[in-house]
């Protein structure tokens, strides 16, 4: 596998100083809107850190997601955690399911499979209700706290997506489990890590993507223990089995990082409602404080992730090609 670095030269210099600090500049607004992708590609949306009852940028972004799905063939939505701020949900009948999800992502083209994972905010409520919501909504497909699925891509390729549950892999949530994250204590760290290892070991697909809520590498003011725990526990598994992209949320901004010794593209997908400032660090290829969502597009020869702002401008592209 080799990485197409053309976009480094085109984007890194122009965007690093303008998009990584404060609000997006005028240069952001000159980017082209994503309106088409090769019709033979396999495409899906990544959205996370959503639940603001439609406020801030949540509703406009939801509309852009639906309109894009009208224009290109979207197979599913990967919801990378924190669908519900701030205390999760109490049950499958919690009104937040309507105000955070059903009434917001109501575009007809978004009535397709959503593959979610739990974020730290879901763990502040009833996590079992998040899993059980699939019994209420036919588009909510969550067979377990972590799971995997393989997809046919193009004429001769396949895509393996592995959804994982990162909150229990981080020590701080276990320390706070009695007070704030009650379901964390009952989760077995080693059992999930063994499952991730076994799943990736058996994965022989052309492309391999792992989706979790927390970042392995990122610029953030959040507790460093979060990244250190995942760098120690998760990252060695990702590297061992040649994962192409690790995609997460949690930080509420866009980041793309490459780190020494790893061939993985580490992607932080921004918030679909309310974002935060971001600055470049060692390994940063691109970052932006814009709200929005991402689209992943796979073909026989390329795997591409488009970072899109709330008006669907393409801020950055992560592309991998086959030898």
Res. 275: pLDDT tops 60: yes
Cα–Cα distance for residue pair 150/135, rounded to 1 Å: 23
Check residue 30 and give its pLDDT: 67
- Name the nearest CA neighbour of 318 among 276, 235, 258, 274: 258
Res. 29: pLDDT tops 80: no
Distance of CA 68 to CAs 82, 94, 172, 236, 314, Å? 22, 29, 38, 36, 12
Hunting for tokens 């480094």 — which residue is that? 8
Check residue 117 and give its pLDDT: 98
Res. 139: pLDDT tops 90: yes
Specify the 3-state DSSP secondary structure of 205. Answer: coil
Cα–Cα distance for residue pair 310/70, rounded to 1 Å: 16
Specify the 3-state DSSP secondary structure of 137. Answer: coil
213 is in an annotated binding site: yes
84 is in an annotated binding site: no
Sheet with strand 2-3: strands edge to edge: 2-3, 314-321, 302-309, 292-298, 42-47, 74-79, 114-116
Res. 5: pLDDT tops 80: no
Q: What is the pLDDT of residues 84-137, one digit of tens each?
A: 988 999 999 999 999 999 999 999 999 999 999 999 999 999 999 999 999 999
Q: What is the pLDDT of residues 161-175, one digit of tens each?
A: 999 999 999 999 999
250 is in an annotated binding site: yes
Cα–Cα distance for residue pair 41/152, rounded to 1 Å: 10
Hunting for tokens 């895509």 — which residue is that? 159
> Which tokens sit at 313?
């401008």
For residues 258 and 285, is the Cβ–Cβ distance under 8 A? yes
What is the model's pTM?
Answer: 0.93
The residue with greater pLDDT, 22 or 2, is 22
Cα–Cα distance for residue pair 83/85, rounded to 1 Å: 7
Mean predicted confidence (pLDDT) in 266-275? 98
For residues 273 and 59, is the Cβ–Cβ distance under 8 A? no
Cα–Cα distance for residue pair 133/66, rounded to 1 Å: 22
120 is in an annotated binding site: yes
CB contact set of 10 (below 8 Å; sequence gap of 6+): none
Check residue 49 and give its pLDDT: 98
- Name the nearest CA neighbour of 233 among 199, 278, 192: 192
Res. 13: pLDDT tops 90: no
Distance of CA 12 to CAs 6, 19, 241, 256, 285, Å? 10, 10, 28, 11, 6
Query: 182 pLDDT band (50/70/90 cuts)?
Result: confident
Cα–Cα distance for residue pair 222/220, rounded to 1 Å: 5
Strand ranges for the chain from DSSP E: 2-3, 42-47, 74-79, 114-116, 147-153, 157-163, 207-211, 245-248, 254-257, 265-268, 284-288, 292-298, 302-309, 314-321
Q: What is the pLDDT of residues 280-315, one digit of tens each?
A: 999 999 999 999 999 999 999 999 999 999 999 999
> Which tokens sit at 16?
């690093």
Cα–Cα distance for residue pair 209/37, rounded to 1 Å: 20
57 is in an annotated binding site: no
Check residue 224 and give its pLDDT: 96
């Amino acid at each position: 596998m080799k990485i197409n670095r053309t976009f480094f030269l085109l984007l890194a210099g122009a965007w690093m100083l303008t998009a990584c600090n404060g609000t997006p500049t005028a240069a952001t607004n000159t980017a082209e809107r994503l309106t088409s992708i090769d019709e033979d590609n396999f495409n899906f949306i990544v959205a996370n850190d959503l639940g603001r009852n439609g406020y801030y940028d949540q509703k406009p972004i939801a509309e852009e997601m639906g309109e894009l799905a009208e224009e290109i063939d979207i197979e599913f939505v990967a919801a990378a955690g924190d669908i519900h701020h701030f205390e999760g949900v109490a049950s499958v009948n919690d009104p937040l399911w309507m105000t955070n999800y059903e009434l917001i992502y109501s575009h007809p083209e978004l009535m397709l499979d959503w593959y979610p994972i739990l974020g730290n905010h879901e763990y502040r409520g009833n996590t079992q209700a998040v899993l059980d919501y699939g019994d209420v909504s036919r588009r909510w497909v969550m067979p377990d706290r972590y799971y995997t699925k393989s997809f046919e891509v193009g004429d001769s390729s396949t895509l393996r997506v592995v959804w994982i549950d990162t909150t229990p892999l981080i020590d701080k949530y276990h320390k706070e489990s009695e007070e704030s994250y009650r379901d964390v204590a009952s989760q077995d760290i080693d059992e999930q890590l063994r499952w991730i290892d076994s799943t990736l070991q058996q994965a022989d697909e052309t492309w391999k993507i792992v989706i979790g809520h927390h970042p392995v590498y990122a610029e953030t003011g959040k507790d460093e223990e979060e990244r250190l725990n995942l760098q120690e526990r998760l990252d060695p598994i990702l590297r061992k089995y040649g994962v192409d992209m690790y995609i997460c949320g949690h930080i509420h901004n866009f980041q793309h990082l490459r780190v020494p010794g790893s061939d993985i593209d580490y992607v932080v997908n921004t918030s679909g409602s309310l974002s935060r400032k971001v600055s470049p660090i060692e390994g940063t290829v691109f970052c932006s404080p814009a709200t929005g969502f991402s689209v992943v597009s796979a073909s026989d020869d390329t795997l591409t992730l488009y970072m899109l702002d709330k008006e669907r401008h393409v801020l950055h592209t992560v592309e991998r090609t086959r030898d």
